[in-house]
Amino acid sequence: MGAETRISPRERTVLTAIVETYIATGEPVASQALARHFGGDSGNREGMSSATIRNVMAALGEAGLLEQPHTSAGRIPTARAFRLYVEMLGAPQVALLAPARLEQIEESFAGIGTSEQYLERTSHVLALISSGLGVALASAQEFHKLEHIHFSRLGAGRVLAVVITRAGTVLDRVLLLDHDLNHTELDTAARFLNENFHGWSMERIRGELARRLEAERSEYDRMMRSVEELYRKGALEAETGAAPTIFIEGVANLLAGETDRARLRTMLQALEAKERLIELLNAYVDARQRSVRVVVGLEEAIPELKDFVLFGATARLGAENLGTVAVIGPTRIQYQETINAVSYIAQLSGRIFQPPQ
């Protein structure tokens, strides 16, 4: 945050009160309401009279943190004010989540077995507990990592390859072979790949197979010739051009607070374009970051979402990136609770998929 938005402790106190009052009411905030918030005109707990509050609000307006809608006597926070408010909140605090909320989250993730199920459930839970859109995007690397592979002989020179990825996605394709392979050879090839390359990316498996075939061809003999035939025919090809898996829930949450029909139509069109939401998450949420990223004002990526805020975090399993979990909501949203919930759910993945000791 630049020097132009550095404000005094008193101004921070007033700005926080304005932002939180506006989030709660949706109405422009007047100095009289703040005076009541701080305990009245005379000797309130912050030592500010109505006149002092008006002066502070004027200074915040000059700093570009407040604006006056139409002829209203009240003020509303600008996008810059919301950004500063997020900075003042600091790091996520799971301890601030209500016990009932924590229990709700824990129960919602009971029985999860794959990262795809985790991401799908995440979009549902985040939409449920926020006033925004719950979004979860599977990482490309997770989508292309081998969980299990199976080959079925369909006929002479025809094999069905079924690949299950770590994300839980099933990829299948029919392979047309130059040399026919029997059931035993197919089972041996599948067992070799599953035992040696579980959890590897398709690209890494193909590279390692090419290296071994070149360096140790004489040792692998018939079994490796079977594997070579299958992989060269595309058994381990990633789905080129396939859209990343994305889960979205909670559009109704956004529609409930929108009365402008023209704006509602353009907003719906923006949200229906999943490719744009994927680009939005990839642009703003860095897979390397360890904390929740909050972006107020998304017009640079999607102009129709000018008055929206993004809360995004990376879900991990150790050093692996499972994907991105996020909430997209109106600027009038409960920031602290949303930040805490996104952070908690992103970290929950490590516990859900932790192998038993």
Longest dimension (CA), the chain: 92
> What values do phi and psi take at 139, rounded to 5?
-70, 150
Helix, strand, coil shares of the chain as percentages rounded to 5? Answer: 50, 20, 30
Closest CA to 335 of 302, 296, 301, 306: 296
pLDDT by 10s per residue, the chain, length 357: 443 467 888 899 999 999 999 998 888 998 888 888 776 544 455 567 788 888 999 999 999 999 988 766 788 999 999 999 998 887 777 667 888 888 999 999 988 877 778 888 999 999 988 878 999 988 766 557 788 899 988 888 889 888 888 766 777 888 888 888 888 889 888 998 998 888 887 878 888 888 877 766 555 555 567 777 777 777 767 555 555 678 888 877 777 666 666 666 777 777 767 778 888 888 888 877 778 999 998 888 788 788 889 999 998 877 778 889 999 988 888 999 999 999 999 988 878 776 544
What distance in Å separates the CA atoms of residue 178 and residue 197, rounded to the nearest whole number?
25
* Domain annotation for the chain: domains and CATH numbers: 3-89 (1.10.10.10), 94-142+244-352 (3.30.450.40), 145-232 (3.30.390)
Residue 108 identity (one-letter amino acid): S
Residue 118 identity (one-letter amino acid): Y
10 Å Cβ neighbour count for 14? 28
Burial zone of 62 (CB within 10 Å; 0-12 exposed, 13-18 middle, 19+ buried): exposed
Can you list the pairs that 40-46 forms with residues at least 24 positions away whose Cβ atoms lie under 8 Å?
A: 46/10, 46/13
10 Å Cβ neighbour count for 225? 16
What distance in Å separates the CA atoms of residue 352 and residue 357, rounded to the nearest whole number?
13
